[in-house]
Structure 1
Amino acid sequence: MPRSPRRQIVQMGGFPAVKTGGPSPYGDLYYGVMEMSWPWFIALVSASFVAINLVFGTIYALLPGAIGTMEPGSVIDGFFFSVDTLGTVGYGVMAPVTRLGHAIAAVEILIGLFFSATITGLIFARFARPRESLIFSDVAVIGRYLGRRALMIRVASKRSRPLADVTAQMSWLETVHLGDGRTFRRLSELPLVRSSNPMLGLAWTLVHILDDDSPVLTALANANDRFLLTLSISGIDTLLASQSLGGKRYDRETVLIDHEFVDVISEENGTTHLDLRGFHKTVAIAEPVLTIDAS
């Protein structure tokens, strides 16, 4: 019976997709461990620790007389002696008394060095990996920008320290129709009025000017085709000196036409305030700037 093709769920531009076939997603063990959640990571490390000590504890139990003061055949005593050896604790209550016992303990100590170094490196790498420190507006809006129609998304930093050298990229999932009737999809970049920000400490509104013949407007009008908008942000955390990444996707239902964001920045007593309580709020524009023709 032929095996069914391998399926793998991936994140593509902020939305889920499925890969069928190809190499196993578990082939890269390091990437898999880095990707798993902290509870699963702790469970994996704990299970590996118990398994190693259980194997060596069983070996010690099968070698009567190899470990001094150890009860002959006791897997429990062998297990705890293995824990002491793997962790290089050396309480001195139990110790190898034969050459074979010393040889097995030496092998376990070598394995323990690799195990400890590997786990330490993984923990450090997990803490040091890029962190998401951004808030994205729940919706995108189509409204006015300097008298022109524009697609806008708002983003803000969650940290007390600003992000430096911030760059933004807005894209949409474009459906391309070929002359022979075939179609394919691609993420096409949408030019921003300002795609870089030297220092992001408060809020930042990303703006894409919509021309009359903008393919984004055509896609929004076509209810039979999938509409997807993505935004990705990267910057340097000025406290941790590490890269911070973030992204958000918007579908047709989360793009509000003829709306604008409520202002959340104010000045009080010479101090600038950012009120995140109204960060996602929008208001309708009295005079519509865009009419979507769905015919």
Structure 2
Amino acid sequence: MSPRKRRRTIDLGTIRAVKIGTPPPISDIYYATMEMSWPTFIALVSLVFVGINLLFGLLYAALPGALINAQPGSVADGFFFSVETLGTVGYGNMAPATHLGHLIAAAEILLGLFFSATITGLIFARFARPRTSFEFANVAVVGRRENQRLLMIRLASTRLRAIADCTAQLSWVRKITLNDGRSFRQLVDLPLVQSHHPQLVFNWTLVHEIDEASDMYQALLAGGEFRLTATISGIDTLLASQAIGGTSYRRKDILIDHEFDDMIDDSRETFEFDLTKLHGVHPRS
């Protein structure tokens, strides 16, 4: 029987996909620990911490007289002495009494240095990991402006500081079938009216002009597979780091003859931008 292939779910905005045959997490422990959720990470660290101390506790318990003031054969005393040693606390009520006990304690201290440094580094890396600075509307729309049909995708910055030097790209996944029946998927770039934004503070609508002979639009109206992919990158002016975002849309996520609701209210003295209206759309009048 062939081994069961690993299946991992991938979130692509409005699309969920499954990767089959991915390497096990043990092949890249750093990436696996960065990818897991905080509750899972905390549970894993706690399990490793308990496992290390339980192992050394059993060693101390198996060596009669190895510890001063410890009950002979007591796993509990060995465990708690191990916790104190690994954490470099050293209350002083228990201590190694033999050369072998000192050797085991020294090995545990060395292991504790690696364990503490590794966990500290992972915790810092998880806190310092960049979070997405962009949110995309959960639908795209096809509307008209001055008799020109347009495909529009709206996104907004979730940060309070500006995202500088933003560059966006829009692509269409086209399925091509050859004469011999074989097929492959081709990523086709869709030109944008404006693909660069010098300073994104509020929202940005990516606009692609659709001509009458557009293969993309014909595929959108027809049946079969259809997918759009939008990506954006920029520089977070507060963190001085790169901000990246992206999403994908299927046919059912693209509304024809619709428009986005206005997110900006400048009728008052205070300029207001309502991020909760990002997904709002209405039929084109």
TM-score greater than 0.5 by the shorter chain: yes
Distance in 2 between the 1:75 and 1:27 partners?
Answer: 34
Match of 1:191 in 2: 191
Aligned twin of 2:257: 258
The residue aligned with 1:246 is 245
What is the CA deviation profile of residues 187-226 of structure 1, one whole-angstrom value per residue up to 9, with x for unaligned ones?
3322212222221111110111112121211211222x12
In structure 2, the partner of 1:79 is 79
- In the alignment, the residues of structure 2 paired with residue 59 and residue 7 of structure 1 have an alpha-carbon distance, to the nearest angstrom, of 37
Aligned to 1:285: 284
- Distance (whole Å) between structure 1 residues aligned to residue 52 and residue 61 of structure 2: 14
Q: Which residue of 2 aligns with 1:213?
A: 213
Structure 2 contact 142–149 (Cα < 8 Å) conserved: yes
Gaps of 5+ in 2: none
Closer, same or farther: CA 59–6 of 1 in aligned 2, 3 Å: same
Per mean C-alpha deviation after superposition, the further-off stretch among 111-120 and 239-248 is: 239-248
CA apart distance, 1:53: 0.3
Contact 1:6 1:24 in 2 (8 A): no
CA distance in 1, matches of 2:218, 2:8: 30
Give the whole-Å Cα distance in 1 for the aligned partners of 2:79 and 2:25. 34
2:191 aligned with 1:202? no
Partner Cα distance (2:22, 2:276) in 1? 45
Deviation (angstroms), 1:147 = 4.3
In structure 2, the CA distance between the partners of 1:12 and 1:137, relative to structure 1 (3 Å rule), is closer
Is the Cα–Cα contact under 8 Å of residues 163 and 237 in structure 2 kept in the other structure?
yes
- CA deviation after TM superposition for structure 1 residue 101, in Å: 0.9
- Following superposition, the deviation at residue 139 of structure 1 comes to 1.1
Residue type at the aligned position of 1:73: G
Query: Equivalences for 1:9-20 in 2 at 5 Å?
Result: 9-11=8-10, 13-14=12-13, 15-20=15-20
1:47 is aligned to 2:47: yes
Instruction: Report the CA distance shift for 1:279/1:12 in structure 2 as closer, same or farther (over 3 A).
Output: closer
- Quote the Cα distance in structure 2 between the aligned partners of 1:240 and 1:94: 48
CA distance in structure 2 between the partners assigned to 1:30 and 1:275 by the alignment = 38
TM-score (norm 2): 0.92
Residue 133 of structure 1 and its aligned partner are, at CA, apart by 2.6
CA distance in 1, matches of 2:16, 2:175: 18
CA contact (8 A) 1:166 1:196 kept: yes
Give 2:244's aligned amino acid.
L
In angstroms, what is the RMSD of aligned CA positions? 2.0
Identity, in percent, stands at 58
Counterpart residue number, 2:113? 113
| Cα separation, 2, equivalents of 1:209 and 1:117 | 54
Report which stretch shifted further, 181-190 or 253-262: 181-190
Instruction: For 1:117-196, list aligned pairs within 5 A.
Output: 117-145=117-145, 147-196=147-196
Are the equivalent residues in 2 in contact too, given 1:152–1:208 (CA < 8 A)? yes
Residues 7 and 22 in structure 2, CA contact (< 8 A), matched pair in contact too? no
Counterpart Cα distance in 2 of 1:77 and 1:176: 69
Give structure 1 stretches of 5+ with no counterpart.
287-295
For the 8 Å contact 1:8–1:25, the answer to whether it is kept is no
Deviations for 1:212-259, whole angstroms, at most 9, x for unmatched residues? 121211211222x12112222222222223333322222111111111
What are the superposed Cα offsets for residues 33-70 of structure 1, whole Å, 9 maximum, x if unpaired?
Answer: 11111111110000000000000011011111111111
2:35 maps to what in 1? 35
Q: How far does residue 268 in structure 1 lie from its aligned partner after superposition?
A: 4.2
Residues 4-27 of structure 1: CA deviation (Å, up to 9, x unaligned) = 451332537543333444644542
Separation in structure 2 between the aligned mates of residue 211 and residue 199 of structure 1, nearest angstrom:
30
Q: Provide the aligned length of Structure 1 versus Structure 2.
A: 284
Quote the Cα distance in structure 2 between the aligned partners of 1:252 and 1:228: 7
Q: Classify the secondary structure of the residue corresponding to 2:248.
A: strand
Residues 174 and 188 in structure 2, CA contact (< 8 A), matched pair in contact too: yes
